[in-house]
Chains A and B, each alone.
Chain A
Amino acid sequence: MTNKKQTLTAWLCLLPAIIFLGIFLVYPMIDVFIYSFEEGYNFASQSYFGLGSYNYSYVLHDPYFIQALKNTFIIVLITVPLSTGIALIISLALSSITKLRELFQTIFFLPYVTNTLAVGLVFMILFQKTAYTDGMVNVLINLFGGESIDFIDGPYPAKMFVMCFYTIWVVLPFKILILTSNLASVDPIYYKAAQIDATPKWRVFFKITLPMISPMIFYLAITGFIGAFKAYSDEVALFGTDLNAAGMNTIVGYIYDMLYGNSGGYPSYASAAAIILFAIVFTITVINLLVSEKTVYYQ
């Protein structure tokens, strides 16, 4: 009797979640595969010619997609290792000081609570070279005897540099926070044992600290890879909404451009590109998992 009532209550409680998940997560998940195989889909009449893999071959031969693929991989390969490494160094330094520690932690966390688009505009202006000014960063470069470069409309490596620099600036707070709290959770007894044996510092780091926090570093690497493959808003923040023109588009940017905007109206191409992205991310995650089995130390 009461059990029946409880079952009813339970389903009523779950109903809103099930409705929303069904409409905005489960159905679209299935639908995107269907879209990606519908050839010549017309958004206005919602009709298509036939089924096949043409959308995939179109996307894979689109020079804009190739450019986006290249940009995304460069961003991933540069920012993930660098940001994880820098975060580790900063966290180690943070855990070995006591004075001002909280102040530093607060400062380092600030980028997490900022609007990427808004602060990206600041970065753009700092790096941009215009007729009025060389920009703050170029002033610094000149100070050290370098030549002014336009980082926003200039050569590709310069643009990529700002891109990666800003990405690292944005993702560091999360990594520093996670690593600092993880370092604090390592049992001090290991360090004391090492101290008695007069173990050198570098050895303590490689033999105790690193193995103990390796699961967390691995976690950060995986989420870092996934996040970096989905890079998009940071690019818009620096280079504006027309990323193709700037040559700085990413896979996610390509998907949205196909869907909407000046080049939009092609949900089929967008779907195919989204599934290609998903396949890449999935593969990389599996590789990561395989690598981790050999290198990560689990208690």
Chain B
Amino acid sequence: MSDTKDLEKIEKRDKSIKIVRGAARYLFLTFWALIVLFPFYWMIITSFKSYSSYNSEYVPRLIITSPTLQNYVSAFTEVSLGRYLINTFIFTVITTAIMLVIVVLSAFAFSRLEFPGKNIVFALFLSLMMIPNELVIITNYVTITDLGLRNSFPGLVLPSVISVFYIYLLKENFEQIPDELYKAAKVDGTSDMRYLRRVMIPIAKPTIITIIILKVIECWNSYVWPRLITDDESYFLVSNGIQEIRENGFGRENIPAMMAAVVAISVPLMALFLIFRKKIMAGVARGGTKG
């Protein structure tokens, strides 16, 4: 009799422990989610506050009473935010496109074609992955300056187009395509390039999309190289642009307008992320590096 009672007691205690544990987990996760989300929330509400109402709040308010679009108008008219966004867009598209051509061609050569010295060349390529950017950027800066390519798109793009890691990633993927397909295509008299275009690229599309997404994120956020190589404002990318806006833009105190610029810069990648959420997260888990 008392045994079953004890058992019930134990079960009850077990259950309450479980509930407390679960609640603690959710509480902790929610707490960190708030820390992550708060800066985003704050920049959005601030960007809709008027200059005077923001500055009259000694204790910042977390709700907007009379939203205004004035800050966005100033962000696009008083400083060259539009210019920065267009520049970054052009830079991202060109860099990603050139990189893709190089990566696809190299991965194709390494995975599909046979030639003497292939393994040695591939090993050399892989060893280049260990060279840190900080070490080569000094000479690249001198090279680009000597070529007279400072403050130009070629100067921005050229040193950014190569990535050994993506060649490796795509080569691995290409190698999974069965040899039979290639032989069949050869029998039909298909040329190598046609086979690459019509068979390999469509099959490896998911990996290629992953590579594109990772590169686009990298380009959109790149700061160090563009800062070194451009000092003419009309070639600034968004990262330099926001720094310029902060230091010489609206005057130091117009924080709502700055926040509008920050929102405008963040929106494109955020939108991309929300659309391709699963692909991006899977891609970063496979091949991302940061931090």
On A, residues with C-beta under 8 Å from B are 3, 6-7, 9-11, 13-14, 16-17, 20-21, 23-29, 31-32, 35, 43, 83, 86, 89-90, 93-94, 96-97, 100, 104-119, 121-123, 125-126, 130, 132-136, 139, 167, 169-172, 174-175, 177-178, 181, 223-224, 226-228, 230, 232-233, 236, 240-241, 252, 255-256, 259-260, 267, 270-271, 274-275, 277-278, 281
Does residue B269 face the partner (Cβ distance < 8 Å to A)? yes
Segment among B51-59, B72-80, B202-210 that sits at the interface with chain A: B51-59
A106 lies within 8 A of B277 (CB): yes
A17 lies within 8 A of B262 (CB): no
- When distances are taken between beta carbons in the complex, the residues of chain A under 8 Å from B28 are 89-90, 93
A10 lies within 8 A of B242 (CB): no
- When distances are taken between beta carbons in the complex, the residues of chain B under 8 Å from A113 are 217, 269-270, 272-273, 280
Cβ-neighbour of B114 out of A3, A90, A130 (below 8 A): A3
A35 lies within 8 A of B138 (CB): yes
- When distances are taken between beta carbons in the complex, the residues of chain A under 8 Å from B142 are 43, 267
A230 lies within 8 A of B132 (CB): yes
Does residue B37 face the partner (Cβ distance < 8 Å to A)? yes
Q: Which of A23, A43, A86, A277 has the most CB of B within 10 A?
A: A23
B105 lies within 8 A of A16 (CB): yes
A233 lies within 8 A of B223 (CB): yes
A181 lies within 8 A of B114 (CB): no
Does residue B108 face the partner (Cβ distance < 8 Å to A)? yes
B25 lies within 8 A of A223 (CB): no
Can you show 12 pairs from A to B with CB atoms below 8 A apart? A9-B109, A11-B115, A13-B106, A17-B162, A90-B28, A90-B32, A114-B221, A114-B269, A115-B242, A175-B291, A227-B290, A240-B243
B118 lies within 8 A of A10 (CB): yes
- When distances are taken between beta carbons in the complex, the residues of chain A under 8 Å from B201 are none
On B, residues with C-beta under 8 Å from A are 22, 25-26, 28-29, 32-33, 35-37, 39-40, 42-43, 55, 57-60, 101-103, 105-106, 108-110, 113-116, 118, 121, 125, 128, 131-132, 134-143, 158-159, 161-162, 164, 167, 192, 217, 220-221, 223-224, 227-228, 238-239, 242-243, 246-247, 253, 255, 258-259, 261-262, 265-266, 269-270, 272-273, 277, 280-281, 284-285, 288-291
Nearest residue in A to B139 (C-beta to C-beta)?
A28
A40 to B79: give the CA distance in the assembly, Å: 41
Cβ-neighbour of A122 out of B36, B161, B262 (below 8 A): B262
A81 to B280: give the CA distance in the assembly, Å: 26
- When distances are taken between beta carbons in the complex, the residues of chain B under 8 Å from A122 are 39, 42-43, 259, 262
Nearest residue in A to B56 (C-beta to C-beta)?
A132
- When distances are taken between beta carbons in the complex, the residues of chain A under 8 Å from B59 are 133-134, 139
Q: Which of A29, A114, A134, A226 has the most CB of B within 10 A?
A: A114
- When distances are taken between beta carbons in the complex, the residues of chain A under 8 Å from B125 are 17, 21
Q: What 4 A-B pairs come out closest when comparing CB atoms?
A: A171-B291, A28-B139, A28-B136, A13-B109
A126 lies within 8 A of B29 (CB): no
Cβ-neighbour of B121 out of A14, A112, A277 (below 8 A): A14
A105 to B134: give the CA distance in the assembly, Å: 32
Cβ-neighbour of B138 out of A174, A223, A255 (below 8 A): A255
Given contacts A20-B162, A232-B224, A278-B132, contact A110 B113 (CB under 8 A): no
A118 to B240: give the CA distance in the assembly, Å: 10
Nearest residue in B to A268 (C-beta to C-beta)?
B138
- When distances are taken between beta carbons in the complex, the residues of chain B under 8 Å from A21 are 125, 128, 162, 164
B265 lies within 8 A of A230 (CB): no
Closest Cβ–Cβ distance, residue B182 to chain A (whole Å): 12
B238 lies within 8 A of A256 (CB): no
Nearest residue in A to B55 (C-beta to C-beta)?
A132
Closest Cβ–Cβ distance, residue B229 to chain A (whole Å): 9
Closest Cβ–Cβ distance, residue B104 to chain A (whole Å): 9
Nearest residue in A to B27 (C-beta to C-beta)?
A93
B134 lies within 8 A of A277 (CB): yes
Closest Cβ–Cβ distance, residue B167 to chain A (whole Å): 7
Closest Cβ–Cβ distance, residue B106 to chain A (whole Å): 4
- When distances are taken between beta carbons in the complex, the residues of chain A under 8 Å from B269 are 113-115
- When distances are taken between beta carbons in the complex, the residues of chain B under 8 Å from A135 are 60
Closest Cβ–Cβ distance, residue A75 to chain B (whole Å): 12
Given contacts A93-B25, A174-B291, contact A110 B36 (CB under 8 A): yes
A164 to B267: give the CA distance in the assembly, Å: 26
- When distances are taken between beta carbons in the complex, the residues of chain A under 8 Å from B220 are 115
A236 to B101: give the CA distance in the assembly, Å: 34
A17 lies within 8 A of B273 (CB): no
A32 lies within 8 A of B266 (CB): no
B258 lies within 8 A of A28 (CB): no
Q: Which of B29, B114, B288 has the most CB of A within 10 A?
A: B29
Given contacts A90-B32, A117-B223, A117-B243, contact A32 B135 (CB under 8 A): yes
B291 lies within 8 A of A224 (CB): yes
Given contacts A27-B139, A112-B284, A122-B43, contact A14 B36 (CB under 8 A): no
